[in-house]
């Protein structure tokens, strides 16, 4: 198959599914990236950074995860994410911010800290989140060596929208749900309008979330301006 045809297939599938898996290349940047995430997982952070609770049973790197280490943005260019955004996602989006989070299990070991939702939706004609939706890359390394379902998604749900939230959530069935396990190499790129849910953490786990927002919404992230600037610089350098 010619590579242009291949890109067309990948772009078509990404539009229809609203998500795709990728694999990080094994490089020195990847090793540095994993070491930083593992240090954060072990709560052994660089000076000037702390972990603060945002959601129940979880802690996020503060003040700004994109500043934690160069490898957090370098890894995106090394893995050609800028070209995937341009040619597959086909959206004018910019890296607005990065989140790095540790999650611990609920006392019952069964509760998910973030149940089924879309980040952006329009229930009863009240738009919430950015519309058009942005995109995320979520990566859940396996530092505990406990294999677990970290994220579930309903492929295609980003273009199957119901105005009524109850009807919308009723489209989630075991048959159309895909469960993703933690992995040291695999990441998920997805449209944030997709229905998704985190799995209940059996043990403490870690994730990094790269947030891509449409250019017209980037002013809402002015407190993280350096992140978008660094992304734009990288796009020029790696063009």
| Least distance from ligand AKG to the Cβ atom of residue 91, Å | 17
> Is position 184 an interface residue for Fe ion (rule: CB under 5 A)?
no
CB of 28 or CB of 165, closer to ligand AKG: 165
Q: What does 118 bind: ligand AKG, Fe ion, none (CB cut-off 5 to 8 Å by kind)?
A: none
Torsion sign across C-alpha atoms 25, 76, 183, 192: negative
Q: Identify whether the C-beta of residue 213 lies closer than 8 Å to the C-beta of residue 93.
A: yes
Q: Which residues, 6+ apart, have CB-to-CB distance to 168 below 8 Å? A: 118, 121, 123, 161, 162, 195
Q: Which is nearer to ligand AKG, 82 or 136 (CB)?
A: 136
- From CA 108, how far away is CA 16, in angstroms rounded? 36
CB of 69 to ligand AKG, least distance (A): 19
> Which residue has the closest beta carbon to ligand AKG?
198
39 binds Fe ion (CB under 5 A): no
Which among 28-36, 37-45, 90-98, 117-125 is the span making contact with Fe ion, rule CB under 5 A? 117-125
Q: Are 186 and 22 in contact (CB under 8 A)?
A: yes
Instruction: Work out whether 60 is an interface residue with Fe ion (CB under 5 A).
Output: no
Look at residue 74 and give its three-state secondary structure.
Answer: helix
Neighbours of 142 (CB within 10 A): 17
| Interacting residues of 175 by C-beta distance below 8 A, sequence separation 6+ | none
Residue 20 backbone phi and psi in degrees, to 5? -155, 150
At closest approach, how far in Å is the CB of 218 from Fe ion? 19
Q: Report, in Å, the least distance between residue 3 CB and ligand AKG.
A: 31
What is the C-alpha separation between 213 and 196, in angstroms, rounded? 18
Contact residue for Fe ion among 39, 70, 78, 119 (CB under 5 A): 119
- Interaction site with ligand AKG (CB under 6 A): 101, 114, 119, 136, 138, 151, 196, 198, 207, 209
Please say which residue, 158 or 196, places its beta carbon nearer to ligand AKG.
Answer: 196
Question: Under the rule (CB under 5 A), what is the footprint of Fe ion?
Answer: 119
């Amino acid at each position: 198959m010619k590579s242009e045809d291949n890109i067309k297939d990948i772009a078509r599938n990404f539009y229809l599914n609203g998500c795709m898996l990728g694999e990080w290349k094994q490089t020195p940047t990847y090793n540095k990236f994993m070491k930083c995430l593992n240090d954060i997982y072990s709560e052994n952070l660089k000076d000037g950074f702390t972990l603060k609770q945002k959601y129940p049973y979880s802690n996020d790197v503060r003040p700004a995860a994109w500043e934690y280490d160069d490898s957090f943005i370098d890894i995106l260019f090394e893995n050609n994410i800028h070209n995937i955004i341009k040619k597959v996602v086909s959206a004018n989006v910019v890296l607005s911010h990065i989140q790095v989070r540790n999650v611990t299990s609920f006392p019952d070991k069964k509760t998910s800290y973030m149940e089924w939702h879309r980040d952006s939706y329009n229930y009863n004609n009240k738009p919430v989140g950015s519309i058009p939706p942005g995109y995320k890359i979520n990566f859940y390394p396996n530092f505990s060596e406990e294999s677990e379902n970290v994220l579930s998604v309903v492929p295609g749900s980003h273009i199957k929208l119901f105005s009524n939230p109850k009807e919308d959530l009723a489209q989630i069935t075991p048959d159309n749900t895909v469960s993703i396990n933690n992995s040291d190499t695999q990441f998920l790129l997805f449209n944030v309008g997709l229905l998704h849910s985190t799995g209940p953490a059996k043990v403490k786990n870690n994730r990094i979330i790269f947030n891509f927002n449409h250019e017209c919404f980037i002013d809402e992230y002015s407190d993280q301006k350096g992140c978008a600037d660094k992304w734009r610089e990288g796009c020029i350098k790696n063009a």
